[in-house]
């Protein structure tokens, strides 16, 4: 049975909960968006953009990226 596009998408909250339950640490929405963007998944535009042009954006640590990847695979968003 094929999944519809809506069924194959997990919310950021579902991804956060999966990582928290399985790995016992929290991941931010920023890190999830970075990983999704890195692997070519759709990321919607956010509207909370800083007017400060030289803002430093934290990068997702490797261990959290691996946990997010596991969650994306669990929810069949990537293979």
Q: What is the pLDDT of residues 32-75, one digit of tens each?
A: 999 999 999 988 777 777 777 777 889 999 999 999 999 999 99
Structure confidence at residue 23 (pLDDT):
97
Structure confidence at residue 3 (pLDDT):
47
Query: Which of 2, 6, 68, 9 lies closest to 34, judged by CA?
Result: 68
Structure confidence at residue 56 (pLDDT):
83
Structure confidence at residue 70 (pLDDT):
97
Using CB atoms within 10 A of its CB, is residue 17 exposed (0-12), middle (13-18) or buried (19+)?
Answer: middle
Q: Is the pLDDT of residue 6 over 70?
A: no
Rg, Å, the chain Cα set: 14
């Amino acid at each position: 049975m094929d999944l519809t596009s809506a069924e194959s998408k997990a919310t950021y909250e579902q991804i956060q909960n999966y990582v928290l339950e399985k790995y016992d640490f929290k991941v931010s929405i920023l890190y999830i968006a970075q990983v999704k963007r890195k692997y070519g998944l759709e990321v919607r535009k956010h509207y909370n953009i800083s007017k400060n042009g030289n803002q430093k954006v934290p990068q997702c640590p490797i261990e959290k990226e691996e946990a997010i990847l596991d969650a994306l695979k669990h929810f069949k968003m990537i293979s």
